[in-house]
Amino acid sequence: MRRHVLQTIVTFAAAALMPALATTPAQAQEARKPARVVVQVSEADPARWNLVLNNVANLQEDLGAANVIIEIVAYGPGLGMLKFDAPTNSRVSEAVKAGVTVLACENTMRNQKVARADMHPSVTYVAAGVTQIVKRQQEGWAYLRP
């Protein structure tokens, strides 16, 4: 009788744990997807930009560059750090080479009368930086604003 009770308990325990241990193919695929992070920069402070670029490099190092997709979105005063002659120019180049997408807000460019020729050559453009951030959040991207 004891043996039967013990066997029943083990069977029920195993049955209770099975759903937690089993993963569907969709769950397994979701677990393999890279993390997606959108980073806002709206300040003209070189120290803020260096913090952002350090955070991005740390993310790539900690998670593995192949395991994270990163977009830096610059608008407002932050756009100035993407100009060709900005003090952060070489660091932006390094980030782009490492696979980070750096986006400049065209609304800000128009308002500040900045041409694409004035910008870092590796910058990508979006119509509205704020809208890009909102879209990414709706798509489930993590949001950072250092």
Q: Are 76 and 70 in contact (CB under 8 A)?
A: no
What kind of fold does domain 33-144 have according to CATH? Hypothetical Protein Ychn; Chain: A, (3.40.1260)
Q: Are 40 and 136 in contact (CB under 8 A)?
A: no
What is the model's pLDDT at position 2?
55
Tell me the pLDDT of the chain (146 aa) as tens digits. 655 544 555 454 455 545 555 556 555 555 679 999 999 999 999 999 999 999 999 999 999 999 999 999 999 999 999 999 999 999 999 999 999 999 999 999 999 999 999 999 999 999 999 999 999 999 999 999 98
Residues contacting 141, CB < 8 A, separation 6+: 36, 37, 38, 71
Other beta carbons within 10 Å of 80: 21
Domain ranges in the chain? 33-144
The model carries a pTM of: 0.79
